[in-house]
Structure 1
Amino acid sequence: MRRVLVTGAGGRIGRAVLDLLAAQGTEAVALEREDPGGLPAARVVEGDAADPVAVREALAGADAVVHLAAIPTPEHLPAGTVFAVNTQATFTVLEQAGLAGVRRACVASSLAADGLAFAASDPHPAYLPVDAFAPSWCEDPYALSKQVDELTAHTMARRHGMGVVALRLPYVGGFEERLNAFAARCAADPGLHARGYWAYLETRDAARACVLALSVEGPGARVVCVCAPETLVPQPTEALVRRYHPDAELRAPLPGRTVPVDLSAARDVLGFTAEHVLTLGADKAIYRK
């Protein structure tokens, strides 16, 4: 890769992707609605990821794309806005990338694409460990937008002969900035994150997964679940599953704090294993590693 376009470059994962590309000596172009300043990119283009003109300008000379721009939750904006903004941006970025001859792209999806995380009802997974093929319980606009984003990835892969990886990401953050506090809350009340499978990913690992996705060879679209191999709570996973998802079919053992997410595609397709993890101290509290 000579130049990578990163959309949503000013966000938590976007900045980490820019840092990683810079460390690897790969030039990056950042696309943001407003330049926040201080982005480690060769060029910053101000514009909307749903605007074909702005995207075409940002794509000049790029041979890969990491698309992260999105509304990350359905909780603060009207449902139609969440769905329209997310899906239009993904369609526009991948369509313009394909027309520009770009053949490698990474798109941020979410573990919430299965519909559990933000559902108003009380759905549960059909089976665990969960994977990208699990039945959908989607009833919120964010989950629906991520499902459509994954379908868009498949469509653009066929339409343009692209290789597109959609990463189903969990709760992402830095240890001091986000993860430690959330882990403490969930340790006290595991039900808070039961619909997110008690999964997490440190920001640097999320960025590394995005960049590894650009190295996947050949055309076609793949949906890959990515998270740390263990949960962010001290309770044994199988006990948590029996308590919070008692009717889910258990398709593989979940010893200790094993995360109930199938990470085989992350390993086999991306060659990815999380490096920055939470570990238990002698008093069963969770510490960063």
Structure 2
Amino acid sequence: MKKICVTGGSGGAGNAVIEHLLAQGYDCVNIDIKPPKTQHCPFIEVDMTDYKAVYEAMAGCDAVVHFAGNPEPDFDHWESADRFNNNTSALFNAFNAAQAHGIKRVVWASSETIFGFPFDTNHQERLPVNETSEPQPQGGYALSKMISETLAEQMAKLYGMTFIGLRLSNVLYDDVNAVPSFQKIPGYWEDMPYRKFNLWGYIDSRDTARAARLALEADISGAEVFNIAAKDTLMRQPTKELVDTVMPQSKLDPQITGHMALLDCAKARDLLGFEPDYNWQDVLGLTVDGTRKGDA
């Protein structure tokens, strides 16, 4: 497995995947509807809802990392229709073109939103959530991700392929100009309910890229999904305080102490060998209470 087709490689997470794979000795081709800001590998302009274009662009690849799609959750029925139609069509085209070319491994971006984002009218009975927790998709985006996991299961059986879905937490970037940036984190601390929509979680884009590469290399067959998140929350308040104050309906595992994350990634650790390398404190140079590291 040498040449990897990365769909959505012009986006933030897709670009991070390409940079990481190239550094690890892989060849990549980026297929996206828009060109990248910096071209690291061959780029083919493709609308992922155009199956013929996807099929042609994927020729000669050994594996696929599918990160294309609209990453924004939806908040009304118009947006819901757009997210579901676009993302589901793009995903099926990526999966179907892969099988038509005889490609046996596909890694793709599923989502933590499957667990119930934004937790306005629902809640998880137990926290943290793991891959066996009840799916509670609340909109078109999350439903498209739920469908993607079912589709992967069926196509794995039908075609003898391996599909690995990464249930990514909110991907953050060490870039003040990025919409989801680490630099925004201190602004969340005075409003505990604001970030409950994804259980106060996050994942560094570089860890996202490494998780994708480990999924490409893992000794796994069939269809699997994995939670991918940092080990901690992005809040300065302890996790128990967050849950007790904002989500008292949910029962917190007593083993969750300090600032431990509410997205359990034990399965990724055990089967992919994935441990996150980055946390917001190191990226921002802050301690967990928000003071500058090294200050007295």
TM-score interval for Structure 1 and Structure 2 normalised by the shorter chain: over 0.9
Q: Which moved more, 1:30-39 or 1:60-69?
A: 30-39
SS in 2 for 1:81: helix
Rounded Cα–Cα distance in structure 1 between residues aligned with 2:288 and 2:268 = 32
Match of residue 196 from structure 1: 198
Task: Report the alpha carbon displacement of residue 86 of structure 1 after superposing the two structures with TM.
Answer: 0.6
Match of residue 84 from structure 2: 83
Give the one of 222, 225, 232 matched to 1:223. 225
Instruction: List aligned pairs for 1:1-289, cutoff 5 A.
Output: 1-36=1-36, 38-41=38-41, 43-73=42-72, 74-75=74-75, 78-117=79-118, 121-177=120-176, 178-279=180-281, 281=286, 284-285=289-290
Task: Report the alpha carbon displacement of residue 78 of structure 1 after superposing the two structures with TM.
Answer: 3.0
C-alpha offsets along residues 222-253 of structure 1, whole Å, 9 cap, x if unaligned?
11000110111111101111112212133451
Against the structure 1 CA distance between its residues 176 and 239, is the aligned structure 2 distance closer, same or farther, given a 3 Å change threshold? same
Rounded Cα–Cα distance in structure 2 between residues aligned with 1:287 and 1:205 = 24
SS in 2 for 1:182: helix
Against the structure 1 CA distance between its residues 283 and 230, is the aligned structure 2 distance closer, same or farther, given a 3 Å change threshold? closer
Could you list the runs of 5+ residues in structure 1 that have no partner in the other structure?
A: none
Task: Report the alpha carbon displacement of residue 286 of structure 1 after superposing the two structures with TM.
Answer: 6.8
Against the structure 1 CA distance between its residues 80 and 216, is the aligned structure 2 distance closer, same or farther, given a 3 Å change threshold? same
Task: Report the alpha carbon displacement of residue 219 of structure 1 after superposing the two structures with TM.
Answer: 2.3
Q: Which moved more, 1:177-186 or 1:79-88?
A: 177-186
Task: Report the alpha carbon displacement of residue 156 of structure 1 after superposing the two structures with TM.
Answer: 1.7
Rounded Cα–Cα distance in structure 2 between residues aligned with 1:188 and 1:37 = 35
Amino acid at match of 2:230: A
Counting matched residue pairs gives 285
Rounded Cα–Cα distance in structure 2 between residues aligned with 1:32 and 1:287 = 40
TM-score, with structure 1 as normaliser: 0.92
TM-score, with structure 2 as normaliser: 0.90
SS in 2 for 1:95: helix
Task: Report the alpha carbon displacement of residue 217 of structure 1 after superposing the two structures with TM.
Answer: 2.2
Rounded Cα–Cα distance in structure 1 between residues aligned with 2:169 and 2:287 = 27
C-alpha offsets along residues 6-36 of structure 1, whole Å, 9 cap, x if unaligned?
0011000011111111111211011011323
Cα RMSD of the aligned pairs, angstroms, is: 2.0
Could you list the runs of 5+ residues in structure 2 that have no partner in the other structure?
A: none
**Are the aligned partners of 2:172 and 2:182 in contact in 1 as well (CA < 8 Å)?**
no
Amino acid at match of 1:211: R
**Are the aligned partners of 2:9 and 2:36 in contact in 1 as well (CA < 8 Å)?**
no
Rounded Cα–Cα distance in structure 2 between residues aligned with 1:283 and 1:47 = 43
**Are the aligned partners of 1:99 and 1:160 in contact in 2 as well (CA < 8 Å)?**
no
Against the structure 1 CA distance between its residues 30 and 162, is the aligned structure 2 distance closer, same or farther, given a 3 Å change threshold? same
Amino acid at match of 2:158: R
**Are the aligned partners of 1:90 and 1:149 in contact in 2 as well (CA < 8 Å)?**
yes
